[in-house]
Structure 1
Amino acid sequence: MLLSRCTSKNLISPKIGIKFFSAKPKRDFKDARTQPKHSQAKSSSSFMMNVFRGKLETKEVFPYPDVLHADQKELITSFVGPFEKFFLESNNPTKNDENSKIDDEVLDQLWQLGAFGIQVPEKYGGLGLSNTQYGRLCEIIGQNDLSVGITLGAHQSIGFKGILLFGNEKQKEKYLPGLASEKVYAAFALTEPSSGSDAASIRTRAVKSDDGKYYIINGSKIWISNGGIADIMTVFAQTEQIDPETGEKKDKVTAFIVERSFEGVTNGPPEKKMGIKASNTTSVYFENVKVPIENVLGEEGEGFKVAMSILNNGRFGMGATLAGTMRVCIEKAVEHATNRVQFGKKIKEYGGIQEKISQMNILQYATESMAYTISQNMDQGSKEYHLEAAISKVFASESAWYVCDEAIQILGGMGFMKEAELERVLRDLRIFRIFEGTNDILRLFVVLTGIQYAGSHLKVLQNALKNPAANFGIVSSEISKRVSKSIGLGAIDFKPFVAPELLPYSQKTAACIESFGKTIEDLLVKYGKNIVNEQYILNRLSNAAIDIYAMVVTLSRSSRAYELNLPTAQHELNLTKALCIQASNRVMDNIQSTKAKSQMELLNIMGEIAGEVYTKGGVNTTHVITNC
């Protein structure tokens, strides 16, 4: 059982805080009347959190959010033109890639456009755009040059995002004007040689001076985007903290605003990379760096929270960016398919090519729908978008890779040539499944967080059943829901929210959500807290959750197109129908595989294979020629 039972402890972070009820709680022989009343589990407005309970929470998905008023739409349109002109006339992505550098004059023009301070409030010198407006500009960047996108994103999406989210007024006044408009670059310094996805295991250390006026930081960071050009860095280091209740000393991560001008900050040479070559990536070293206490970002010991909030907040931008990248790949594939003649016909007439083009568009539509659902929820004030943002990052990065790869396939030999520019895009895309949380870890994050939420509600019900008379409301509500399901009256009804033409497809989605919720409950009862060790099951549950979100956001967006009678409405309805057919089948297959005996048998065999390969350090089969 090596693959499924490989512990997930420390994969995300030992501090993620996931706690599960025991499948076999201890009996409590005390009189129930003497027990305190059971508190309600915390509720959530997040659509995906509630999916893990088999429940439909519509607030953040129906109707499809439209937050931009006319003035905001006019404002973002005024920026779109200059951005597109810049990429058409001034930026050369092929040259950037070959030189592994963006020319200074090109960067100067980006500064003049305000591209480095898109979301910084105007009073600090930025453009002051919303998340949704930022996403629209990210889309343009993704259509043109992902290396430029990384340079911009490392600067503002994560580099100084912590100052926007957690900085006090003095910190904002001191740093944001330069970062927004005065060519002061930023970087996000978290990853270390010994810690990748496990952010809490970092070794860089900050020791407070005896007078409490500053910290001294020692350590190193690797693979830091903008690491060689950043003047301001958000740096994370272990600090000794005293528990106010117990007096016990513990190491906790603290976030710092570190200036390159502080003595002791250096960096290594630019890394040689597969893709995004023009973005600057280096190691950064801190040797006795003296950081004033006022440069602590957020609260001391709360650095892990700061880091996760920054990453969660910025992930929607990746979806918007890659939706733009997919758009260009599709355009190149369509242009070739409509002109290339083989065996007497244009290749666009062949069913195999049509299927590829359709699938590419389905994935682009879903990616774009996710990105703007999340950004607009954020603009409406939502604070619970972390699951949706993680799903968006996973879905977008994997879909973009597929779309670009298929575009190359459609172009054939031409797609393999540099002239078509798709080989550069494919190389650039590969990193998106790795950085800002690898997709493997984000899948675990999604499913474990959702299971924790479902488990907390199930624990409340378990406790309530110990004394049903005192908890009549909880028990009766649950009984009513379960009876309805048992006689075929599903609790989920999309009819008020979707276009009439989509009702059969929304029913497939509803069935997936109900089956998913029941499966989560059954697995919690079966495994209890040990569910964290069943990674085979967790990965399939996560894939099911991702597909459910894709179905719902496309149902919502295409229904919006139908209601507004948009010229693309029928096409959007068809994209949604196709996705719902595909995704609902995958969801049910993934759910079934969590309990199928044949899958468990396969898993055991796979575990034995992996164990043998690990033992031998690689391939371990007898060669057919040498027999050794």
Structure 2
Amino acid sequence: MMSSASRIVAQTPKQFNKFINLNTRYLATQAAVNVKKHEAKENKESASFTMNIFRGQAQMDQVIPFPKALSQDQSETLQMTISPLEKVFSEINDPVKNDEISDLDEKTRQAFWDLGAFSIQVPEQYGGLGFCNTQYCRLVEIVGSNDLGVGIILGAHQSIGFKGILLYGTPEQKQKYLTRVSNGEYAAFALTEPSFGSDASAVKCRAVKSSDGSHYVLNGSKLWISNGGWANIFTVFAKVPMKNTKTGEIEEKVTAFIVDRAFDGVTSGPPEHKMGIKCSNTAAIYFEDVKVPAENLLGAEGEGFKIAMNILNNGRFGMAAALSGTMQRCIKQAVEHANQRVQFGKKIREFGGIQEKIARMAMLQYVTQSLAYMISGNMDLGSQEYQLEAAISKVFASDSAWWVCDESIQILGGMGYMKDAGLERVMRDLRIFRIFEGTNDILRLFVALTGIQYAGSHLKELQKAFKNPTANLGLIFGEAAKRATKAVGLGPTPSFANLVHPSLAESANMTGKSIETFGQTVEGCLIKYGRGIVDEQFILNRLAQSAIDTYTSAVVLSRASKAMNEKTPTAEHEMVMAKTWCTEAASRTKYNLKVVKSDKYLNTFNQLRQISRNICEAGKCPQQTPLGF
């Protein structure tokens, strides 16, 4: 029977599935002997929850329990810092004035510098506060609830501006530059260029090493750089000609540098006029024959793209934290109005339509806040795999904050549209968050394609195993058993109900079912499209949304379980929000995964594609009015 099975084994996933269907019961029996050996040899496992759901697996190590990252000392230090920060916002910073003058006056700037707000995560030895990610998260949440323009100034400086030095700098670079960025000098992250937006690999800025190796000559320009007109210290990404050690050919690879404005040839353009976040400085930066000392190379030559992505990944949770604060401010204003406004003899809080708005706003804020503290906590506890979760937090937070602000304005009605209410400024400030540091559209594709690549790597292992089935029976039968038992309804749905509070077990089971269906759908897409899946954005976007809904469900279940177990004053409230969120998220996921597999819906997308082509070819909406002219 073994040799017969070996002859049937094919070298494509599609044929493999046929093989499994023919040998279901036999493979399920044989797998018990081999599956443990295969698992012991598996070396491509990830601790990321999101990565694993693309394989239909529930990896809960970084989700449950909800991370507790602060020691008692850290918690006490943080609490002592919160009051002075809130005092600066209440007594010194004026968001309306900042917006009107498109700047931050010197008194306000100095107040934030004196507080240490520009060096929250810089080690104390370099003049910073030395706070961890979770402490940073809490302070940024307060900033976001008060003034997003200030939030961008602070974030562009430390979340990305000098973050590369913090992560990759040599001891000498840290001593030289971190002391400066902690003591009145602004930093900026210079990646975007006029010729590209989301395609960071298309950098045109170029740096050529001198013949004696002492410096690089940098030429090019950067666009829309936050703090660009103020900064003295830049993290700059440019292509460097390098010899390929394998082929001997010269190739240009993106490389990171620390560039000082004091270097000859560094200039900046005038401040950009923006829709929102007006008090933050945004400007173009120009480099003309700038001599950058070799010791200012950040990391190694050719590592620039990796460094840029890691900087962005490392700081994205801060955006979720800030927008969690913004949503709290919007909700508070909407609720104050709903509690006072009387229509038709009732306070508007009594109307079902208003109640639904407020409840959904609250759930979105709860999820966003949970994401921020989940990711920052995991980072503080040593996690190195959070890039998908960080991307999800940015996408979810920026989409949700926009919706919450919009609904707050709707609840206030005409009053909300007035400038004096302040919400129109918040809405203008919010619009950029769905665009910068990776547009939400690109990040959704990033989540989907990264997860699919991880799922596909396992199929590649199987394909290789099929080439020599006799030597790889453990791998083949182990995977066959997993699929075979699912095919006959014996395989367990990924479950973590035992890890959550009993009152949330049903919600955990729903999420587990989503994980199972999600993994099966991803595998089906890989089999159907192969590498061509990268071009199926209609499908990728729905897979990404399913991943977002599934991860956020697991996160709120973890947080609500923590509240229930600790019997906090808001535990019951959190439990209700978690249950409601999981129910609706599971429903959305079921629908999106159905769409991905349905010829009917895929045909609808083909129709949408045709409509788009018609409009683009015409350069406008091509139809005439019903009048015929």
Please classify the TM superposition score into its range, dividing by the shorter chain length: over 0.9
What displacement does 1:22 show? 7.5
Q: Distance in 2 between matches of 1:457 and 1:371?
A: 31
Answer yes or no: is 1:222 the counterpart of 2:244: no
Please list the CA deviations of residues 457-485 of structure 1 after superposition, one character each: whole Å capped at 9, or x if unmatched.
Answer: 12212333444443233233323323443
Root-mean-square deviation (Å): 1.6
Letter in 1 for 2:259: V
1:299-310 → structure 2 map (5 Å cutoff): 299-310=300-311
Q: Distance in 1 between matches of 2:435 and 2:506?
A: 37
Q: Distance in 2 between matches of 1:482 and 1:455?
A: 15
Give the counterpart of 2:613 among 589, 611, 614.
Answer: 611
Q: Distance in 2 between matches of 1:185 and 1:623?
A: 54
Q: Distance in 2 between matches of 1:374 and 1:517?
A: 23
Q: Distance in 2 between matches of 1:593 and 1:162?
A: 41
Give the counterpart of 1:143 among 136, 142, 145.
Answer: 145
What displacement does 1:493 show? 1.5
Letter in 2 for 1:112: D
Task: List gaps (5 residues or longer) in structure 1.
Answer: 1-20, 27-36
Q: Distance in 2 between matches of 1:621 and 1:491?
A: 51
Residues 498 and 505, structure 2, Cα contact 8 Å, conserved in 1: no
Give the counterpart of 2:164 among 153, 162, 165.
Answer: 162
Counterpart in 2 of 1:7? none
Residues 481 and 491, structure 1, Cα contact 8 Å, conserved in 2: no
Give the counterpart of 2:567 among 547, 565, 568.
Answer: 565
Please list the CA deviations of residues 473-518 of structure 1 after superposition, one character each: whole Å capped at 9, or x if unmatched.
Answer: 3233323323443325424121221111111111110110000000
Shifted more, 549-558 versus 245-254: the winner is: 245-254
Shifted more, 163-172 versus 467-476: the winner is: 467-476
Q: Distance in 2 between matches of 1:604 and 1:301?
A: 40
Counterpart in 2 of 1:450? 451
Answer yes or no: is 1:405 the counterpart of 2:373: no
1:172-321 → structure 2 map (5 Å cutoff): 172-180=174-182, 182-321=183-322
Task: List gaps (5 residues or longer) in structure 2.
Answer: 1-10, 17-37
Counterpart in 2 of 1:61? 63
What displacement does 1:596 show? 1.1
Q: Secondary structure at the match of 2:237?
A: strand
Q: Distance in 1 between matches of 2:476 and 2:203?
A: 45
Please list the CA deviations of residues 193-240 of structure 1 after superposition, one character each: whole Å capped at 9, or x if unmatched.
Answer: 111110010111111111111111111111000000000000111110
Counterpart in 2 of 1:46? 48
Residues 186 and 232, structure 2, Cα contact 8 Å, conserved in 1: yes
Letter in 2 for 1:201: A
Letter in 2 for 1:280: N
Q: Secondary structure at the match of 1:496?
A: helix
Counterpart in 2 of 1:513? 515
What displacement does 1:247 show? 1.3
Q: Distance in 2 between matches of 1:466 and 1:217?
A: 50
Counterpart in 2 of 1:4? none
Residues 482 and 491, structure 2, Cα contact 8 Å, conserved in 1: no
Please list the CA deviations of residues 109-149 of structure 1 after superposition, one character each: whole Å capped at 9, or x if unmatched.
Answer: 10000001000000111000000000000000000000000
Answer yes or no: is 1:105 the counterpart of 2:126: no
Q: Distance in 2 between matches of 1:200 and 1:484?
A: 44
Letter in 1 for 2:589: V
Counterpart in 1 of 2:5? none
Residues 512 and 588, structure 1, Cα contact 8 Å, conserved in 2: yes
Q: Distance in 2 between matches of 1:242 and 1:463?
A: 32
Letter in 2 for 1:408: I
Q: Secondary structure at the match of 1:116?
A: coil
Residues 235 and 258, structure 2, Cα contact 8 Å, conserved in 1: yes
Residues 511 and 554, structure 2, Cα contact 8 Å, conserved in 1: yes
Counterpart in 2 of 1:340? 341
Please list the CA deviations of residues 142-161 of structure 1 after superposition, one character each: whole Å capped at 9, or x if unmatched.
Answer: 00000000000000000000
Q: Distance in 2 between matches of 1:41 and 1:529?
A: 23
What displacement does 1:72 show? 1.1
Letter in 2 for 1:552: A
Q: Distance in 2 between matches of 1:585 and 1:532?
A: 26
Q: Distance in 2 between matches of 1:415 and 1:436?
A: 29
Q: Distance in 2 between matches of 1:22 and 1:335?
A: 61
Shifted more, 244-253 versus 552-561: the winner is: 244-253
Q: Secondary structure at the match of 1:470?
A: helix
1:14-25 → structure 2 map (5 Å cutoff): none
Matched residue pairs, number? 596
**What TM-score do the two structures reach when normalised by structure 2?**
0.93
Q: Distance in 2 between matches of 1:565 and 1:479?
A: 45
Residues 206 and 218, structure 1, Cα contact 8 Å, conserved in 2: yes
Q: Secondary structure at the match of 1:338?
A: helix
Counterpart in 1 of 2:480? 479
What displacement does 1:380 show? 0.9
Taking every aligned residue pair, what percent have the same amino acid on both sides?
58
Please list the CA deviations of residues 29-81 of structure 1 after superposition, one character each: whole Å capped at 9, or x if unmatched.
Answer: xxxxxxxx998451111111101000011110011111112111111111111
What displacement does 1:244 show? 1.7
Q: Secondary structure at the match of 1:129?
A: coil
Q: Distance in 1 between matches of 2:237 and 2:583?
A: 45
What displacement does 1:25 show? 10
Letter in 1 for 2:62: E
1:74-113 → structure 2 map (5 Å cutoff): 74-113=76-115
Q: 1:502 to 1:24 in 2, by over 3 A?
A: closer
Letter in 1 for 2:393: S
Q: Secondary structure at the match of 1:164?
A: helix
Q: Distance in 2 between matches of 1:470 and 1:515?
A: 31
Residues 324 and 401, structure 2, Cα contact 8 Å, conserved in 1: yes
Residues 160 and 186, structure 1, Cα contact 8 Å, conserved in 2: yes
**What TM-score do the two structures reach when normalised by structure 1?**
0.93
Please list the CA deviations of residues 86-119 of structure 1 after superposition, one character each: whole Å capped at 9, or x if unmatched.
Answer: 1111100000001100111100010000001000
Q: Secondary structure at the match of 2:176?
A: helix
Q: Secondary structure at the match of 1:300?
A: coil
Counterpart in 1 of 2:3? none
Letter in 1 for 2:53: V
Counterpart in 1 of 2:33? none
Counterpart in 1 of 2:593? 591
Letter in 1 for 2:626: V
Counterpart in 2 of 1:331? 332
What displacement does 1:391 show? 0.4
Residues 521 and 597, structure 2, Cα contact 8 Å, conserved in 1: no
Q: Distance in 1 between matches of 2:14 and 2:208?
A: 45
Answer yes or no: is 1:365 the counterpart of 2:366: yes
Please list the CA deviations of residues 277-328 of structure 1 after superposition, one character each: whole Å capped at 9, or x if unmatched.
Answer: 0000011111111100110101011110110010000000000110010011
Letter in 1 for 2:304: G
Q: Distance in 1 between matches of 2:306 and 2:260?
A: 22
Q: Distance in 1 between matches of 2:499 and 2:43?
A: 28
Residues 493 and 513, structure 2, Cα contact 8 Å, conserved in 1: no
- Point out the structure with the larger helix share: 2
Q: Distance in 2 between matches of 1:190 and 1:315?
A: 16
Q: Distance in 2 between matches of 1:482 and 1:199?
A: 39
Please list the CA deviations of residues 239-274 of structure 1 after superposition, one character each: whole Å capped at 9, or x if unmatched.
Answer: 101112221110101111000010111111100000
Q: Distance in 2 between matches of 1:580 and 1:255?
A: 42
Q: Secondary structure at the match of 2:241?
A: strand
Letter in 1 for 2:316: R
Q: Distance in 2 between matches of 1:489 and 1:65?
A: 31
Letter in 1 for 2:380: D
Q: Distance in 1 between matches of 2:250 and 2:372?
A: 42
Residues 237 and 256, structure 2, Cα contact 8 Å, conserved in 1: yes
